[in-house]
Amino acid sequence: MEKATFAAGCFWGVEITFRQTPGVTETAVGYCGGHTDNPTYQAVCTGQTGHAEAVEITFDPQKIDYAQLLEIFWQCHDPTQLNRQGPDVGTQYRSAVFCHSKQQMEIALASRMQQQNSGRYNKSITTEIAPASTFYRAEEYHQQYLEKRGMAQCHWK
């Protein structure tokens, strides 16, 4: 099993997208990419922790590879929106790929370039690609939030 960590706005919708992906064995929502240890949701919402709402994915590389996960990542949000997704605004909603290895970093950088050159976007991709830092699991009520409420996606999509 391998790990992948993505930030693409509110973590609830991102999590359900990846939970429904064959080859993904586990997901967790949390906070990554910031400078505050053990952040809370309330602290992250202030924008002062540096963390993004993120989803940590455990996947079976025999069933789905990292490049395929990146394809899903690009499709599940608008990577040209700087520090926002839809109605959610702030650095905690930024688009980011947190890489767990040099190989993931190389694949992510190539994928971002391919996406930018694809003609799919009218604006530049703002997605941050950085080494994975500590992933802080969010409070339990955030885990599988939409599924617990019988929702298939966030309301604004």
Catalytic (active-site) positions: 10
Q: Are 59 and 1 in contact (CB under 8 A)?
A: yes
d(CA 89, CA 92): 8
Cα distances from 32 to residues 88, 110, 136, 151, in angstroms, run 17, 22, 6, 25
Task: With H, G, I as helix, E, B as strand and everything else as coil, classify residue 4.
Answer: strand
